[in-house]
Amino acid sequence: MPGSLNDLADEDLMQLVRKGRSDAFECVYERHSTAAFSLAYRMTQNRNQAEDVVQDAFLSLWRSNARYDRARGSVRTWVLGIVHNRAIDSLRRSVTHDRRRASDEGLEERFAAPERTEVEAARRDEAREVRAAIQTLPAEQSRVIELAYFGGFTHAEIATMLQTPVGTVKGRMRLGLAKMRHQLGGLAAEATS
């Protein structure tokens, strides 16, 4: 039976995962864990943290009874979206932990307090606007932009991860950035230059 699972499309495997088939889940994991780890590692820059992120993401996928929706994109895109979100959560926990430890040690004055500067406040406002603009894009456009700008992946790497031609990835990115530039006006022009 495992040989026949390898012949199934991701979407068909997800139907089996939804029914609790651990062998189908194992197949999905084998297909996408390398790309998931690559994304997590690029975001966290820490092997152990990246491994934890991937484990947490796939555990979440299994526990959620595989709430994959075919209409929202490929299985790989969905898995990488979960990994992306878990990596951000992990990075936030790390910063909070480091600050708490520094405070416990009486070292808080050694950490810069960027939230007190006007430049940081302006940067946070811009980031909030950019995130809002990304959320208005179609899923396939926002995914390639997030992978490129937040994940640091090249067009070729994104194409491999999403199992999409490089030209399609470039086209989605170009369309998404054009829509963002239109929405954000001058802010997007500054961010892309």
**Domain limits, the chain:** 1-111, 113-193
Q: What are the residues whose beta carbons fall under 8 Å from the beta carbon of 14, sequence distance 6 or more?
A: 24, 28, 66, 68, 75
pLDDT score at 191:
46
Q: Token pair for residue 173?
A: 């990115």
Q: What is the CATH number of domain 1-111?
A: 1.10.1740.10
The structure's pTM equals 0.54
Q: What is the pLDDT of residues 86-144, one digit of tens each?
A: 988 888 887 665 566 655 555 555 555 555 566 666 777 777 787 788 888 888 888 88
Provide Rg for the chain, Cα atoms: 19
Model confidence at 153, in pLDDT bands (50, 70, 90)?
Answer: confident
The CATH class for the domain spanning 113-193 reads mainly alpha
Q: How many CB atoms lie within 10 A of CB 171?
A: 15
% of the chain at pLDDT higher than 70: 79
In 3D space, the residue among 132, 128, 56, 137 whose CA is nearest the CA of residue 91 turns out to be: 56
